[in-house]
Amino acid sequence: MHKITLIPGDGIGPSIVDAAIKVIEAAGVQIEWDRQVAGMAAVEKHGNPLPDATIESIRQNRICFKGPLTTPVGGGYRSVNVTLRQAFNLYANVRPAISFEGTDTPFKNVNLVTVRENTEGLYAGIEHFIKVDEEKIAAESIAVVTRKGSERVIEFAFDYARRAQRKKVTLVHKANILKCTSGLFLEIGREVAKKYPEIEFEDRIVDAASMQMVMKPGIFDVIVTTNLFGDILSDLASGLVGGLGLTAGANIGVDAALFEAVHGSAPDIADKGIANPIAMIIAASMMLEHIGELKAARAVEQAVRDVIREGTHLTPDLKPGSTCGTADLAQAIVAKLG
Ligand code: NAI
């Protein structure tokens, strides 16, 4: 029996998390869920977006399955997602983008994994306004790239490539302009690559890499990059395989691992019963793999792929005009596992 911290999240979160739990149960994996709150739900209940009890639960269980959390834009509280990544040193964000048969996208045979540095770069949270005469005349944001932070995420990408029998790691950077931050990341990439002679290593500048991802996605296998570039490129990769509703991410760290869908809390469709649970179910499959339930992980992924290919039980985001809801789609996946 595994014990896992469960954060249902905000907006569509509770409904898609519920769907994913039914799929995990159908795959025959027994989990004791330690239910906690974060985000808006936690503000409403405890006046705090990240209560101590939630942090303590993740600290003890070391695995967290999390629905999307609403973050106020501009003011309000700091993103709980970013705080969790930093609190638990979740330094590697792993996002596979593998084509699904039956999706409406012109890009076929995409099979790549983005490994994004998750704690540093421009997301280190060092930002301020510069005031003169009480006016905000400028704003500054400081990117932090450390040797330790770069080494561990680049090594993670190579180890991942080795484990998953992938052949190439592409380091994406902007070292021609950002000579210190991106330059250091690239320099460390070249050093680390020497320890993995069986894996091909190349580097690409982020703008050219973005164009190539659209024009020739097949040239990419594992991509490793800094926080901001990884944020953007991993969403771009999601777009290649059918959108955010189909992609999940693992946040792997020293002290814990957290699994989630990559999309947000979708307040525009919350409570309508039509949210697509597939990304959350793929997050569940990644989590099952991480905790050693390999057979169940494969079965869940295959069931998802079969349901997408058949195309009869898809929510309106995947099949416009469809009347299939969150629970119907989940049930179709559960039926495949039966
Ligand atoms: P969003 O991903 O929630 O929604 C963007 C669009 O995609 C909306 O039209 C939404 O209806 C649709 N969509 C998203 N997920 C869907 C699903 N599973 N099924 C069907 N349609 C889906 O992004 P948005 O609107 O920018 O952000 C909403 C809130 O979510 C914000 O507070 C944001 O900060 C938060 N957010 C949280 C994330 C997390 O917890 N990991 C990630 C991204 C955003």
Provide the 8-state DSSP code for 198.
T
∠ CA 162-166-171 to the nearest 5 degrees? Answer: 90
- How do residues 74-95 score in pLDDT, each as one tens digit? 666 778 888 898 889 999 999 9
Instruction: Work out the percent of the chain whose per-residue pLDDT is above 70.
Output: 98
Q: Which residue carries 């983005």 as its tokens?
A: 114
- CATH 3.40.718.10-classified regions of the chain: 1-90+247-338, 105-241
- How do residues 283-304 score in pLDDT, each as one tens digit? 999 999 999 999 999 999 999 9
Amino acid symbol at 61: N
Q: Is it true that domain 105-241 has CATH number 3.30.1300.10?
A: no
Q: Give the pLDDT of residue 85.
A: 86
- How do residues 233-268 score in pLDDT, each as one tens digit? 999 999 999 988 999 999 999 889 999 999 999 999
- CA-80 nearest atom, ligand 1: 40
Query: 73: pLDDT confidence band, cut at 50, 70 and 90?
Result: low
Per the structure block, which two tokens stand in for 251? 């946040």
- CA-268 nearest atom, ligand 1: 11
Q: Give the pLDDT of residue 104.
A: 83
Per-residue pLDDT, averaged over 161-173, amounts to 96
Strands 248-252 and 92-98: antiparallel
Q: Give the pLDDT of residue 120.
A: 94
Residues with CB under 6 A from ligand 1: 12, 16, 68-71, 81, 244-245, 260, 263-269, 275-276, 279, 317
Q: Give the pLDDT of residue 75.
A: 62
Query: Which sign, positive or negative, has the C-alpha torsion 268, 270, 273, 277?
Result: positive
How far, in Å, is the centroid of ligand 1 from the Cα of 263?
5
Instruction: Work out the percent of the chain whose per-residue pLDDT is above 90.
Output: 84
- Architecture label for domain 1-90+247-338: 3-Layer(aba) Sandwich (3.40)
